Amino acid sequence: MKILANDGLSESGIIALEKAGFEVITTKVAQEQVANYINNNDISVLLVRSATKVRKDIIDNCPSLKIIGRGGVGMDNIDVDYAVEKGIHVINTPASSSESVAELVFAHLFSGARFLHDANRNMPLEGDSQFNNLKKAYTNGIELRGKTIGIIGFGRIGREVARMALGFGMKVLATDKHVDEAVIKVDFYNGQFINVNIETEPLEDIFKHSDFITVHTPAVGDHLIGSKEFAMMKNGVGIINCARGGVIDEVALIDALDEEKVLFAGLDVFEEEPTPAIQVLMHPKISMTPHIGAATLEAQDRIGTELATQIISLLKND
C-alpha cells in the first residue's frame, strides 16, 4: 500500500512504515492536484499537517483512501465527520506536540516581556550608532515569576503550559468548558515532583485577573477575543496565540496594542494564513513565528512514530 505524506513525515515514521511493508511518498503535491495524484498513484493513506486541506471534494473523488492522518492536534483542515461517514479512518497525534507548543508559548512570553522581538529587529540596523538609546528603550522589561498566567483551553497543551508556568513560579488560572479541574505534575531533574490541583474558572475571570493570557482552543466560528474582551483585561496584559488563527480578532488586537491596553502579543498563527495582514507583520509590539508550534525535531519524531503505529495497527488488522 502507498502512503502520501504531503506535508512531510519524520525519518522515524518513514522507517517504521517501510519496515511494515508500506511505500511512503513525500512528494509535495499542490492542493489542487492532490485528488488527481491520489487516484493516479492508488494512494491508500493521506497524511497532512496544517498546510494541506482535506475537504469533501478529495474525500468524494478518491475511493482508494482508507486513512486520513493529521500530524498534530487540530483537525480543522479535514472534514472529519464526512470522511468517517464515508468509511475512512481519521487519525491524529494529540499527545505528540504538547511540549513543543508550550515551549513556543514561553518563547513568545519571554520575547515580549524583554522586548527581544523588537531588539532583534533594531540592533542590526542601529546597534552600532544608537546603542545607548536602544538600551534605554528596553529597560522596562518584566519578570514572569510571580505573575498570573491565564490559560484558555485546558487540554493537553494548556496543561503543559500550566506545568511550565508553575515551574517558573507563576500563578496559574485556567478555563475550559469541558474541564472542571486537573492535577498538574511538575517534574524535576532528580526524580522529585509535586502535584498541583488547578480548578478551572469562568472565562471572564481569566480576562480580568491575568497578567498574561494564552489561548489553546480549537478553531471557533467567531472570534473568542475581540474588543469587548480586551476591555475586560488588565492594562498592560500580554497575549499569546499558538493555537488557531481567527481565535483573536487581529483588528481589535492592533487597536489594543496601539492604545497600550495590551503590552505585547505573540502570534504563531494568523487569521489570513499563509498571507498574514501587513498591519500585523509590521507591528513593533508583536512577536511572530510562521505557525511552527509543533516544529521541533523531537515533536516531529514523536508525531511520525505515532502516525506509523496507528496506520500499521489499522491496516494490518484489516
176, 203 Cβ separation under 8 angstroms: no
Per-residue pLDDT tens over the stretch 144-179: 999 999 999 999 999 999 999 999 999 999 999 999
Class of domain 98-288: alpha beta
Class of domain 2-94+297-316: alpha beta
How distant, in Å, are the alpha carbons of 129, 146, 251 from that of 7?
A: 44, 40, 30
**Active site positions, annotated:** 244, 273, 291
Q: Tell me the CB-side half-sphere exposure of residue 70, using CA atoms within 13 A.
A: 23
Which residues make beta-bridge pairs with 238? Answer: 212, 264
Mean residue pLDDT of the chain comes to: 96
The residue assigned the cell 498571507 is 275
- DSSP assignment string, 233-293: SPTTEEEEE-S-TTSB-HHHHHHHHHTTSEEEEEESS-TTTTS--HHHHT-TTEEE-SS-T
**pLDDT reading at 220 higher than 80:** no
97, 302 Cβ separation under 8 angstroms: yes
Residue 276's contacts (CB-CB under 8 Å, 6 or more residues apart) are: 270, 288
How large is the average pLDDT for residues 91-117?
96
| Per-domain residue ranges of the chain | 2-94+297-316, 98-288
Strands of the chain (E only): list them.
Answer: 2-5, 23-25, 43-48, 67-70, 89-92, 148-152, 171-175, 181-187, 193-199, 212-215, 237-241, 262-267, 286-288
How large is the average pLDDT for residues 85-98?
94
Per-residue pLDDT tens over the stretch 239-293: 999 999 999 999 999 999 999 999 999 999 999 999 999 999 999 999 999 999 9
Residue 182: count other Cβ atoms within 10 Å of its Cβ: 17
**pLDDT reading at 230 higher than 80:** yes
Q: What are residue 281's phi and psi, to 5 degrees?
A: -60, -30
What is d(CA 268, CA 289) in angstroms, rounded to the nearest whole number? 5
Q: Do domains 2-94+297-316 and 98-288 have the same CATH topology?
A: yes
**pLDDT reading at 22 higher than 80:** yes
Confidence of residue 318 (pLDDT cuts 50, 70, 90): low
**Total count of residues recorded for the chain:** 318
Q: Tell me the CB-side half-sphere exposure of residue 12, using CA atoms within 13 A.
A: 12
Confidence of residue 79 (pLDDT cuts 50, 70, 90): very high
